[in-house]
Structure 1
């Protein structure tokens, strides 16, 4: 789940430790900028799926107890 965010943090550390005007450095910066939103999107998606699962399980329990 936090894979994208942790990878972006590792790239940030590399960028900070290896300042350069070379093209590879700019590419690393762009990669880090793209990975962070992917990580937050994944977190949001996981949270939504967890919410839906809990809601569905609650509805199933309610239906099961109402049928008794």
Structure 2
């Protein structure tokens, strides 16, 4: 999974957090969790895509050998 500190948007949230009110800090935490969830979904989809590409390459190889 991608390093959290390197994700676009999260670095800014972390940098601004100390200057925010409690309510804003809660919202920043929620936003950070949403960003993390989106990156997890992207990672899952990229993994699935890699699996499909591998299966496709294997099938193409089998077809060539027929």
The reply on whether 1:29 has 2:29 as its aligned counterpart is yes
In the alignment, structure 2 segments of 5+ residues that lack a partner are: none
- Residues 1-68 of structure 1 mapped to structure 2, 5 A cutoff: 2=2, 5=4, 6-7=7-8, 9-10=10-11, 11-12=13-14, 14-15=16-17, 18=18, 20-66=20-66
Q: Residue 33 of structure 1: SS of its match in structure 2?
A: helix
Output the CA distance in 2 between the equivalents of 1:14 and 1:51: 39
Q: Which runs of 5+ in 1 are unaligned?
A: none
* Residues 22-31 or 49-58, more deviating: 22-31
Structure ranking higher on relative contact order (CA contacts 8 Å, 6+ apart) = 1
Shift of 1:27: 2.2
What TM-score, normalized to structure 1?
0.68
Q: Alignment partner of 1:7: what SS? A: coil
Deviation (angstroms), 1:21: 2.9
